[in-house]
Amino acid sequence: MTPEKKNKKASTRKAVPIGEIRNDTLVMKDGTLRAVLMVSSINFALKSADEQQAIISAYMQFLNSITYPIQIVIQSRRINIDKYLEKLQKMEKEQVNELLKIQIVDYRKYVSELVELGDIMTKKFYIVIPYNPLSDKQKSFFSRSKDLLSPKTIISLSEKKFFEREKELSQRVSHVASSLGSIGLAVTRVDTQGLIELFYNSYNPDVAEHERMVDVNKIRFDNIT
């Protein structure tokens, strides 16, 4: 590896504040934890006036009930329908009824032209829930910033300390999921595999379209002697 590539790799690691991903949880370099929830959407405009008011009131109650910061993230991606088009093409070849075959061809062309004419986007909604241990709150802003940006200060959590903090984080997750569920939103916690794929796709959007992540449970780690 050339010095330029080494420097680039080091600088990338320095910019990413994540230390590790463990038990469906992001462990940050400063020892704090994050849980990521995927949240469904609702079509607010199609609700009646009373339903809209009820949703707004429930959401206000949710915001007033939390005593810690949360981050709401909306991720937009251009939808990739290549596999769907390949499936249609396969159906076209296997179809013995000429009329149905013509209909499949016309439909496939229509979908292809529709995608070419305008970018069809897919949106995913996430809520990031943090947990900062009490000792971290005593640090100054500059001290926390230094811990975050310097690779030397990555904190390695013991199993005991991690599970103590993860327990507190899980309580926050349950509270947020329950509150949003009362509004009519489906909430699920993103697991370890999902977190890896989420950040892989976020940092490598072009590559991710063609190269899928391998399941972490299927990765083989050879012992290095």
What does the pLDDT look like over 14-60, one tens digit per residue? 677 888 898 999 998 888 899 999 999 989 999 999 999 999 999 99
The model carries a pTM of 0.67
Select from 71, 111, 69, 73 the least CA-distant residue to 92.
111
Residues pairing with 75 in the sheet: 124
Under 8 Å between Cβ of 162 and 48: no
Under 8 Å between Cβ of 61 and 72: no
Per-domain boundaries in the chain: 16-77+123-213, 80-119
pLDDT tier for residue 151 given thresholds of 50, 70 and 90:
very low
Half-sphere exposure of 29 (CA within 13 A, CB side): 18
